[in-house]
Amino acid sequence: MTDSSFDRYATEYDDALQTGLSVSGEASDFFSLSRVRWLREILTRREKNVSAILDFGCGVGATAKHFLDEFAPRVYQGVDTSAASIDVARQGYLSMEESGSDVRFDCLRDTDLLPQYDLVYCNGVFHHIEVEKRLEAMRFVAGSLRPGGVFAFWENNPYSLPARYVMSRIPFDHDAVMVWPGQARDLIQKVGLEVVRTDYCFIFPAALSSLRWTEQLLCKVPLGAQYLVVSVKGS
């Protein structure tokens, strides 16, 4: 998937995504909020204060509102390679100037590489990055973190048949190359970050939502449609 391809989907991204996610019985916002809350619980247990957040591959900015609500950071910055997606994100979040946080959306090419973030968040981005360019992208992530900063890497789980089926229904995922959890951890460690945990999430669809309380117990079993690798930059 090229940057221009995502430019084409910028104004209809949510509809294209929902084409795949509809089989789960949930809207895309359920997943974006759940990812942020899962991460918040982990960072709360680690007593990690998060003041500055970088959303790497933010797309049209759908997760920004959840970070503002759940973390109330001093700074939230979303970056993406798609200029059209960044335009949509900016238009959608003009009202966030009143949120109390400094909210910015920028093209990745216009973003300086500075170690200024407590948290870098990335969801479903690396399966769109060419395999030979993934290490370079991971270096950018590591270079953006302050010492002691946390990288939250979310990806679709190749072990999950439901995840593969959902991706097959999403137009912009047709040429995606999935990232295996072991590959993700290897990339993360190659740029000097310390992997501290891997969780698997989103096992049960809406029809079985009464069973979701068990997901905390099952998060180490590769059943979930997505996985999260949490890593830390040494001080």
Distance CA 64, CA 97 (A): 12
Pairing, β 193-201 against β 117-123: unpaired
Residue 171 binned pLDDT confidence (cut-offs 50, 70, 90): confident
At residue 5 the predicted structure's pLDDT band, cuts being 50, 70 and 90, is low
Give CA–CA dist 154/126, Å, rounded.
Answer: 9
Which of 230, 19, 2 is closest to 122 using CA atoms? 230
Q: Given a cut of 80, is residue 100 above it in pLDDT?
A: no
Burial of 171 (0-12, 13-18, 19+ CB in 10 A): middle
| Residue carrying structure tokens 């399966």 | 127
For the cut 90, the answer to whether the pLDDT of residue 177 exceeds it is: yes
Over residues 8-37, the mean pLDDT reads 79
Q: Helix crossing, 13-21 with 161-169: angle to 10°?
A: 140
Q: How confident is the model at residue 21 (pLDDT cuts 50, 70, 90)?
A: confident
pLDDT tops 60 at residue 68: yes
Asked if residue 2 has pLDDT above 60, the reply is: no
State yes or no: pLDDT of 8 exceeds 70: no
Q: How many CB atoms lie within 10 A of CB 190?
A: 13
pLDDT grade for 173, boundaries at 50, 70 and 90: confident
Instruction: Please give the CATH number for the structural domain made up of 3-43+112-219+228-233.
Output: 3.40.50
Does residue 229 sit in helix, strand or coil? Answer: strand
Q: 166 or 120: which carries more pLDDT confidence?
A: 120
Q: Which of helix, strand or coil describes residue 72?
A: coil
Q: What is the mean pLDDT of residues 111-136?
A: 94
User: Rounded mean pLDDT of 86-110?
Assistant: 81
Q: Please give the radius of gyration of the chain, using alpha carbons only, rounded to the nearest integer.
A: 17
CA distance 127 to 154: 11
Q: Can you tell me the mean pLDDT for 44-63?
A: 94
Q: Which residues pair with 154 in a beta bridge?
A: 123, 228
Query: What predicted TM-score, i.e. pTM, was given to this entire model?
Result: 0.93
Contacts of 102 (CB under 8 A, 6+ apart): 74, 75, 76
Q: What is the mean pLDDT of residues 3-12?
A: 58
Nearest to 116 by CA among 91, 80, 141: 141
* Predicted local confidence at residue 1, as pLDDT: 38
- Residue ranges of the domains in the chain? 3-43+112-219+228-233
